[in-house]
Chains A and B, each alone.
Chain A
Amino acid sequence: MNWKRTLGLDNLSEEYAFARDESTGYTSAKKIPDHWVPTTCGYCSVGCGIEIGVKDGHAVSSRPHAAHPVNRNKLCPKGLSEHYIIESENRAKYPLVRKKGKLERVIWEEALSVMAERFRATQAAYGPQALGVLSTGQLVTEEFYALGKLVQLGFGTNNYDGNTTLCMASAVSGYKISFGSDGPPGSYEDMERADVVLLIGANLADNHPILCQYLDANRNKTLIVADPRVSKTAMMADIHLPLKPRSDLALLNGIAHILVRYNLIDRAYVDAHTVGFAELERFLDAYPPERVAEITGLSQETIFKTALLYGRAKAGFIGWTMGVNHSTLGTATVNAICNLALLTGHIGRAGAAPFSITGQCNAMGTRETGFTSSLPGYRKFDNATDRAELAALWNVEESRFPSKRGLAYPDIVEAAVAKKIRALWIIATNPLVSYPNQDVLRHGLSNLDFLVVQDCYHPTPTTELADLVLPAAIWGEKEGTYTNSERRVSKVNKAVEPPGEARSDFDIFLALAEKLGWREELYPGWTTVEDAFNEWRRVSQGRLCDYSGISYAMLAEQGAVQWPLANGETPQATSRLYADGQFQTADGRAKLVCAEWAPFPEQPGGNYPFILNTGRTVEHWHTRTKTKEVPILERLSPRAWLEMNPRDAKRLGLRSHDSVDVVSRRGRVREVELRLTEITAPGQVFMPFHFAETNVNEVTQDAFDPISREPNYKQCAIRVERSLPGANA
């Protein structure tokens, strides 16, 4: 007890003092750092430039990096408070091994020995493919590159995937089918240059608020937002298309139908740069406006208006995020988007692009360098030339590369359920919150012989189940690069030391390789992340994602730079893919795809009358392992809620703030706070997915896109019940 404080002699004036600093201006003295470290934000894939303020070896403040080309001297609320994620009670600080059922602290040497021995033993007993790896979009590119080599060349398993499959896999598959390669064609600047911007299933205002600046700066655009919910972004729109859940593919086909029927297409472009027009034209007969109106719930007039606006635009931009991807028809929907761009020639020009707005800070990095859905450099597993080229670059036997990809994320989980995967390594992701239908996941994980979880935090719902926990350095504690949604490579820098014995993921991969005697072969001469980056530049040279012209020195000097940048080229302010109409297919032509619409798999009815939609809120990030540690974000968004239209609530006798359970065929989320709002249509409900305490993925459906393997998070059938008091006790 401080008696001076109790009497009031002391009012903590030192703690709350202000000071004037040349660079920060007049501000709270404790927030004025000794120096600023420029880096890139570690949350989403907008890729904002940020500076970490360091005082006495501690991260005390965050601010936008004024010179960075992406974020125009702004940050979202998560970025503005990002330094709080670093120093938290819940950081994983020491390696932990499960002994007699309890996680106990061990030294790194022991942790790595246990890991190496158990992985090798499992592989010896059940074959190399019995080891699975679930990675992330959160590491730096250099780490992804190192991890890919370790998993494929070292452990020899291709049962390796990332949480990117829960996120952007449908965009990847769609791009590959339509354009012959992954790689978002456009740039953020296109949102500023387009005269028609169509956003589908993308709530930028909540999820990528910094990108709203590009839309704001575009005074001449017509903004069309297709979303079943009247999201914050829908409210910014000139035209909101409140379509029925998952009817977007029918809408896109309906627009294509009108474009073709009324000759609003760019026939010369179609003839010169695409294949499949004749088939598509026939296929689109099945999507006349009257049918599309019925499927989408939109008026024919609205559909016509949308088609005419996009068709007649000088530069039409289509942006999408999870509303499209989180679907069993995600890949098909991406193809239908690409169809529109190809039919009208709205691609490869300023303002004209189909554009996926990515989720994680470096999902792009893992897509380019990783070994999950393709070989490094967007090389294809099933292309012998690609395999031979990579084998030559690495000086290894081509036979060490499989000719097809291994199991995708949900199939790894299924294989664990079936006991085909016996050991699993989870890196920087938290499936115990994020995976659809948690029951299946828990079953799969409980079947494992050995589970390694490498994370910055402990405990998380996932580390609690681990046999081995590896403590990793977090954003702000390590170096490397992130690549954002618009292919812009941006430097990530170290500001402070990791806590305890936590090490960067890069160091962990190298140490494990060393332990297994693979270091010289996999990582010849590497000592720093820059060594990995320079090898990657060589490996990506001549590919669509060409990094060869980008160096750490250039990034330090010029800020963030977009790929492709061939060796010796000078970076442009903005680059676009396919400006020359040459696509990454054998004949250089893009493919027009006949993408058939179908209703989502679990239709509402009977005991489960509501359609449940899931999504995000601006204050939180993914499974909240990071943002839970930021007091101001927790203050602003302390708990989950369920949005329901008042007309439905009246029927059920429910009121705002009532405690309700959300029940599906797969499970139950207990005691969610009900929010009555006209944002959500009657018959639909919405719930954010960030909260482990009230985890919506207890009830979501484990149905997956047949091509991308992305889950259908956005629609499933549920009912809402008033919670029974004490049922959770």
Chain B
Amino acid sequence: MTALPLMESALLSTAAKSLVQIEFEPTPLIPARPLEAGEQYRFHFDMTKCIGCKCCVVACNEQNGNPAEINWRRVGEVEGGHYPHTQRHHLSMGCNHCLEPSCLIGCPVEAYTKDPATGVVLHSADTCIGCQYCVWNCSYGVPQYNAERGIVGKCDMCHNRLGDGMAPACVAACPEGAIAIEIVNVAAWRTDYLAANAPGLPSADDSISTTRVTLPENMVPDTDRVDLQHVQPEHPHWPLVFMLVVTQVSIGAFGVLWLLDLFGQGGGLTLGALASLGLAGVSLAASTLHLGRPIYAWRALKGLRRSWLSREVLTLSLFAGAAGAFAGMLLFDLPGRGVAGFFTVLAGVAGVTCSARIYMVAARPAWFTGYTLAEFFSTALLLGPFFVEMLLTQTPGASSPGWVRFVVAGGAAAQLIVQLLKFLWLSGSEAFELRASSLLLSVRLQALLLARFGVLVVAGILLPLMATGTWTITAAFVAALAGEWLGRYLFFVSVVPKNIAAAFTSGERLAA
């Protein structure tokens, strides 16, 4: 029998020091010392502490004055095990302030800098032109496009607060102390960054994320994202769908025109050259519509050292210039066209290559493949000669040699094979993003995908080889052009980007 325990506690009789005095161990959530050489700041996220309350998300939005749809910090869920031994954990992620920031590497205007003092990856709202290339480059979905502003924005670790000795908003808001700022030795981290990986996060290999994640002990092996069934088509980027295909038509067309001119094909080429030049001009102009701040499109040349987007702008501009010279020489029947045409084609090939390289980024696995390059060149091969062929058949007195139509059919066949092989590759893959892309194509986008294949066979192969009528060829070209636009639309919407795990009900509800 125990003694009456009522009075055992001295706590009852001791008067409190003050009503507002709070007793709790202060855990250091921001570094207590300044950075030394070779060090940078990073986030530490403790998954064992996080309860998924999302205070960090709300605090971040308030700190940065962002609208609700833009969340520089996000909380995702991962789950594993079987009832009642279920484990659900949360991931709270801002920017990972990577050692090799893919956003920074891709940016054509050098809006990104890696702060030499703190290692924070900073983004300049004034420099940004809203091309959104960083959005495609980041494996974590960190940079987000703010359509209201026409620019991208991202987490800057509240480095201005840190500089004042104050905790970032997310750190300060977390009731569980699950988020902290730490100091990391850059060289040491580069050799071992295993702690940047966690279930629900893309591999840190892509950019060497600096965020350290503390995982629970005994995490069940099947722990995975809860949003894996929630795959939505991506944004189509209409100006880019238009621009890419039309540019490729123009480049392919100049290739054929150059060859026809070289091989002594007489009249009728001038019209084709001027029309193709027109296409190049229209598509370059249209591409600026993709930008959040079109007036600053010229800035895109700044990032030549690193950015494939800058290189695309340069090579396509050179192409347009050379094509203009070639067309002018055709018009005035000047000599030396062979050289001008050669440089036009050279710049065009470089342009298509740069275009394709823009999309071949690790963060977008279905684009990160030689198929992207093959798709873009196949478009040029199919539509360029087709365009010239159509104009020649429309021009009284002009004629075209038979091989042009074989090139067209060859281009269509190449595209068909590329698309079929790509689809097989996607659907046979183990990677979630690739398999999800194939599911999007074969289920939600099935009708469009079949239409694209059908157009390639009929308008790209059968009609060019069989049809004789002027208008049939014209109709076939228009159909093939539409087919390539459709293909490029599918290219954009069916890519499933890498990202951090999301919450189950995040995003739009899937159509029933």
Contact = CB atoms under 8 A, between A and B. Distances in A.
Interface of A: 5-9, 11-13, 15-16, 18, 20, 25-31, 61, 67-69, 72-77, 80-81, 193, 205, 209-210, 212-213, 216-217, 230, 232, 235-236, 240, 242, 266-269, 272, 345, 348-350, 558-561, 570-574, 576, 579-581, 618-619, 631-639, 641, 645, 655-659, 671, 673, 675, 677-682, 723, 725
Contacts of A80: 55, 58-59, 62, 173
Given A8-B291, A26-B164, A618 B6 contact: no
B254 to A, nearest CB: 31
Contact of A681 (B84, B89, B174): B84
Given A11-B150, A12-B149, A350 B11 contact: yes
B292 interface: yes
Contact of B81 (A193, A212, A645, A678): A678
A638 B510 CA distance: 13
Contacts of B166: 25-26
Contacts of B67: 631
B498 to A, nearest CB: 21
B434 to A, nearest CB: 20
B25 to A, nearest CB: 7
26 contacts: A20-B164, A25-B164, A26-B158, A28-B63, A28-B64, A31-B63, A31-B65, A69-B20, A72-B22, A80-B173, A205-B53, A212-B51, A213-B175, A217-B24, A217-B25, A266-B5, A268-B2, A268-B4, A272-B4, A348-B6, A572-B16, A573-B19, A619-B54, A635-B69, A678-B81, A680-B83
Main secondary structure of the interface of A (DSSP, over half): loop
B124 to A, nearest CB: 11
Given A11-B126, A16-B125, A559-B19, 12 more contacts: A11-B292, A29-B65, A68-B20, A72-B22, A73-B22, A80-B55, A268-B4, A269-B4, A573-B21, A631-B68, A636-B503, A682-B83
B13 to A, nearest CB: 10
Interface of B: 1-6, 8-9, 11-12, 15-22, 24-25, 49, 51-55, 57-59, 61-65, 67-69, 71, 75, 79, 81-84, 86-89, 125-126, 128-130, 148-151, 158, 160-161, 164, 166, 169, 173-177, 226, 229-230, 291-296, 503-506, 509-510, 512
A560 B22 CA distance: 13
A635 B126 contact: no
B292 to A, nearest CB: 6
Contacts of A570: 15
Query: Among A30, A209, A645, which residue has the most Cβ atoms of chain B within 10 A?
Result: A209
Contacts of B125: 11, 13, 16
Contact of A639 (B65, B129, B509): B509
Contact of A31 (B20, B49, B62, B158): B62
Contact of B229 (A618, A645, A657, A682): A657
A235 B86 CA distance: 8
A658 B503 CA distance: 16
Contact of B148 (A12, A72, A266, A576): A12
Contact of A242 (B83, B295, B503): B83
Contact of A76 (B148, B169, B175): B175
A580 B55 contact: no
B52 A618 contact: yes
Nearest to A242: B84
Query: Among B52, B62, B229, B292, which residue has the most Cβ atoms of chain A within 10 A?
Result: B62
Given A72-B22, A72-B24, A210-B175, A236 B51 contact: yes
Contact of A61 (B51, B62, B150): B62
Given A8-B296, A15-B65, A230 B84 contact: yes
Contacts of B158: 26
Contacts of A72: 22, 24, 175
A659 B160 CA distance: 46
Top 3 A-B residue pairs of the complex, sorted by shortest distance between their CB atoms: A8-B293, A573-B16, A28-B65
Nearest to A671: B512
A349 B175 contact: no
Contacts of B12: 349-350, 576, 579
Given A13-B125, A75-B173, A209-B53, A673 B509 contact: yes
B65 A559 contact: no
B294 to A, nearest CB: 6
B61 A632 contact: yes
Contact of A572 (B15, B61, B84): B15
Contacts of A656: 229-230
Contact of B6 (A7, A349, A558, A573): A349
Query: Among B71, B130, B504, which residue has the most Cβ atoms of chain A within 10 A?
Result: B504
Contacts of B295: 7-9
Contacts of A29: 65
Nearest to A232: B51
B68 to A, nearest CB: 4
Contacts of B174: 74
Contacts of B129: 8
B19 A561 contact: yes
Contacts of A236: 51
Contacts of A558: 19-20
Given A16-B65, A230-B84, A81 B173 contact: no
A28 to B, nearest CB: 3
B286 to A, nearest CB: 15
A61 B147 CA distance: 24
A679 B16 contact: no
Given A349-B9, A558-B20, A634-B68, A8 B294 contact: yes
Contacts of B294: 6-8
Nearest to A617: B505
Query: Among A272, A561, A618, which residue has the most Cβ atoms of chain B within 10 A?
Result: A618
Contacts of A68: 20
B224 to A, nearest CB: 12
B174 to A, nearest CB: 8
Contacts of B169: 27
Contacts of A73: 22
B230 A657 contact: yes
A272 B5 CA distance: 12
Contacts of B55: 74-77, 80, 209
A209 B65 contact: no
Contacts of B63: 27-28, 31
A448 B69 CA distance: 43
Nearest to A641: B505
B268 to A, nearest CB: 41
B200 to A, nearest CB: 15
B126 A13 contact: yes
Contacts of A13: 125-126
B22 A69 contact: yes
A5 B292 CA distance: 9
A297 B87 CA distance: 20
A20 B63 CA distance: 12
Contact of B58 (A31, A632, A658): A632
A266 B2 contact: yes
B19 A69 contact: yes
Given A69-B20, A345-B4, A655-B229, A645 B53 contact: no
Contacts of A634: 68
Given A242-B83, A345-B4, A636-B57, A8 B130 contact: yes
Contacts of B177: 216
Contact of B512 (A11, A76, A618, A723): A723
Given A28-B64, A230-B86, A240-B84, A212 B19 contact: no
Given A18-B160, A579-B12, A631-B67, A677 B226 contact: yes
Nearest to B173: A80
B32 to A, nearest CB: 18
Given A61-B62, A205-B51, A230-B88, A679 B83 contact: yes
A581 B5 CA distance: 10
A619 B58 CA distance: 10
A581 B83 CA distance: 42
